[in-house]
Structure 1
Amino acid sequence: MSALALVFATLAFLLSLTVARRTKQILEAAESPSHPIPVTPIGKKFPDVAPLIGSRGDIAPLGGAMSESVALGIFSAGCVSCAEELPLFKEIISGNHVRRDRVVAIVVGEGSVADDFERSLEEVCVVVRQEVEGPVLDPLGIRNFPAFGVVAETGRIRSWGNGAVSLKKVMDEFARRPEDV
């Protein structure tokens, strides 16, 4: 009988270890950064959209005949990472002395947080308000925020990603001359 008790105790111990290991995996997955956005392939043509009107009435320099590459930042009012990355986005744009008319920010959402994002971003870029199903985000398949990219003079996406690491990579790509790409 003691051998049978030992077998059951061993099985219970192994089951407990398995449950603990699986619980740890689940918790680690929940705490890890969000999965990357469905990546828009580099080289894909930016959606052909009617002129996007910025919050100050200016036209966003995307689509149509573009004379220069454009940096793009996409933020959602309901996104904690967006609130964290927004100051870094502004700092990088300002620190690199990028003209306001070469940077577009798309703000997703309504309410006071979206209004605050818009006011803050207007200092350094053309701000366009749009919903996820809008003419830019829907064709690109963007569902995770923040997202950053560079649209080349040709209208093709030259660089793309999300999060602080991608922002720095994207801005390094933005600083490169078109002939270097």
Structure 2
Amino acid sequence: MKTLILSVAIKLLIPVFIVFSLYTLFRGHNHPGGGFIGGLIGAIAFVFHTMTHGPQQTVDTFLKVNLYGYPRQPNQSRSLYLMRMMRVNVWRRRRKARQPNLNEKMIRLEPIYIIATGLLLAASSGVVGLMFGHPYMHAFWADFYIPILGKPGTPILFDIGVYLLVIGVVLKITFVMSEE
């Protein structure tokens, strides 16, 4: 279904869906909401984009990461090399035009990797309690307050894991169903 109105509307609504899903995610450990609802709201953006532009365009737009780098010099220390690599990935477009010896590597984020990362984060957030002699999934909270997030703790790690898990599962289902 490729209509011009839907295509333009989706491009405008995707940032709204993502921002609202992040708001719901971070609001969830103090109020109703959290990782599951935030993940579903965030996945709506990708589902609508896949409906209008197809799965390949969605992958090309959201799930491909280009990394740029220089060849490592033999006498260069590892820390200087890593700092230079981080700097070049931030300013890659300008440097690519000026420096042709810049290497480029593309990484595709598969939905199964997003699922695995979310599951690992959600499951490992409960291990913190075991390390301190408490039951599994015992909540620990920090002693400081972050203005938008509130007091960070292990429940927000669990919510972020569930958020990634839900987005990955919905992406996988959407891609499989749209290819058939």
Q: Is TM (by shorter chain) over 0.5?
A: no
Q: TM-score, normalised by structure 1?
A: 0.19
Point out the structure with the larger helix share.
Answer: 2
Report the TM-score when normalising by structure 2. Answer: 0.19
